[in-house]
Amino acid sequence: MVNIILLGPPGAGKGTQAKKLVDERAMVQLSTGDMLREAKSSGTEMGRRVAEVMDKGHLVTDEIVIGLIEEKLAQGGSGFIFDGFPRTLKQADALGELLARKGQKLDAVIELVVDDEALVARIVRRAEESAAAGQPVRADDNPEVFAGRLREYYKKTAPLTGYYYAKGDLRQVDGMASMAEVGEAIAKVLDRT
Ligand code: B4P
């Protein structure tokens, strides 16, 4: 089975599309955002430190995040969707090494391309919908913190598109389309991979 990365700014729809691929293709979603939110709610010292960083919209340290992925990969398997990982060049190098150690490789890096205004609108809507449903609102889902998350993205994560383009792995998908259309575009990429 293929291993892919879903790349894109915060709110681009990486988690949304990863869940669809899990349902439709029995792939395995490895979301560092979900892992970190789980750590946050665990009440441990590590969780407390992670919460402080995430709630400000900053990136958690490479060491913590790479450690989480290493643990998951050690459990075996293939057909991974790396969702929200890597987010820095150091994480990208680490992922290449971890997969090579397992005798595996990346088959495609799918970038969801969405403009900044649409991203902010999605995040505001998610916060409103969670509040209306009586569910907890993510602390990083507000326009001020989101502006910081976008800055972190352009500074630390956007360079990964050039990194994977140079390796011939990058595939771009229009993330502005509806969720179903984005899903179809990703399916086409996977069918050609
Ligand atoms: P993540 O959990 O990765 O989340 P995300 O950036 O919010 O976005 P995602 O792209 O998954 O968006 P979603 O599908 O939910 O990161 C959160 C934080 O964790 C980071 O800021 C950082 O602090 C930390 N972190 C995570 N990984 C890290 C790493 N590797 N290194 C360091 N720190 C790390 O979609 C968003 C909304 O849009 C949803 O409401 C959805 O319904 C809607 N939507 C999706 N697709 C749509 C479409 N096509 N049209 C309209 N709406 C759509």
pLDDT above 90: residue 188: yes
**Rounded CA gap, 177 and 150, in Å?**
20
Q: Which residues are annotated as a binding site for AMP?
A: 32, 37, 58-60, 84-87, 91, 138, 149
The end-to-end CA distance of the chain, in Å, is 10
Which one, of 122, 33, 123, lies nearest residue 69 by Cα? 33
pLDDT above 90: residue 15: yes
**Rounded CA gap, 156 and 99, in Å?**
22
Residue type, 112: L
Structure-block tokens of residue 4 = 């892919």
Bond preceding residue 9 cis, omega within 30 of 0:
no
Atom of ligand 1 nearest to the CA of 126: 40
**Rounded CA gap, 64 and 84, in Å?**
14
Q: Please say whether the beta carbons of 108 and 4 come within 8 A.
A: yes
Of the residues 61, 82, 122, which should be mutated to test ligand 1's pocket, given the most ligand atoms within 8 Å of the CB? Answer: 122
**Rounded CA gap, 93 and 186, in Å?**
24
Q: What confidence score (pLDDT) does residue 121 get?
A: 95
| Cβ of residue 33 lying under 6 Å from some atom of ligand 1 | yes
Q: How many CB atoms lie within 10 A of CB 23?
A: 9
pLDDT above 90: residue 51: yes
Q: Across residues 132-160, what is the average pLDDT?
A: 94
Q: How many CB atoms lie within 10 A of CB 150?
A: 18
Tell me the pLDDT of the chain averaged across its residues: 96
**Rounded CA gap, 51 and 117, in Å?**
26
CA of 15 to the centre of ligand 1 (A): 6
Classify residue 111 by burial, with Cβ atoms within 10 Å: 0-12, 13-18, 19+: buried
Q: Across residues 139-145, what is the average pLDDT?
A: 90
Atom of ligand 1 nearest to the CA of 178: 49
What is the tens place of the pLDDT at every residue in 55-84?
Answer: 999 999 999 999 999 999 999 999 999 999
Structure-block tokens of residue 6 = 């879903």
- pTM to 2 decimal places: 0.94
Q: Across residues 34-47, what is the average pLDDT?
A: 93
Q: What confidence score (pLDDT) does residue 137 get?
A: 92
User: pLDDT band at residue 152, thresholds of 50, 70 and 90?
Assistant: very high
The angle at the Cα of 52, spanning 149 to 45, to the nearest 5 degrees, equals 140
Structure-block tokens of residue 80 = 């991974």
pLDDT above 90: residue 1: no
